Amino acid sequence: MTGQKGAVLITGASSGIGAVVADRLAKRGHDLILVGRDEERLNSVANRTSNETGRSARAIVADLTKKFDLEKVERILRNDASITALVNNAGVGAPAPFLDADIDRLAQMVELNVTALVRLSYAVLPAFLNRGSGSIINVASVVGIVPEILNGVYGGTKAFVIAFSRSLHKEFGPRGIRIQAILPGATATDSNRLLGHCGNSA
């Protein structure tokens, strides 16, 4: 990202892609607001990043599948004028075949991979539009374009992220808002080793 520095809010920031993005953006001069479920790991990332880069890194413990926690992060995005970018990275995968998977866990995955991402984008866009600048970076996956590789619900959520990002770009790009979708390939996380972004909400 270029232009005005400021704070970047990153979800799923306690490990994996989220932690790497936090490190890279801090080194580019951005302060950070790191969101995740695992308080210990989240604080570790925040402290390490701050110590190594000299940038502010604030940890917000939140489970984005829970209404109260999601609304807490939405309020931050609406009201914190320092935020110049949102990175929607939090997500979970579903490595099991469809009928072998737990349907409640699949529904929770949709809540995190789709619903939370939409709500957070909705929360931050008005402030960006008022300033005429801002960035939303959505972490999708290669399985969004080749969904047959894994459980189709997971691929479907990532296909949604890609389509949603394209739509946001068309609608808000001309108004100064930068929209980007990232499609990682094979990504190892603490709990999953499979093809495609399977970041975490931790």
Tell which residue, 128, 126, 102, 105, has the closest CA to residue 201: 105
Q: Of these residues, 154, 160, 164, 172, which one is catalytic?
A: 154
Angle at 81 between CA 43 and CA 34, to 5 degrees: 15
Helices (H), ranges, the chain: 16-27, 39-53, 67-79, 103-110, 117-131, 152-172
Cα separation of 122 and 175, whole Å?
15
Answer whether 32's CB lies under 8 Å from 58's CB: yes
SS3 18: helix
**154 tagged catalytic:** yes
Question: Which residues form the catalytic set?
Answer: 154
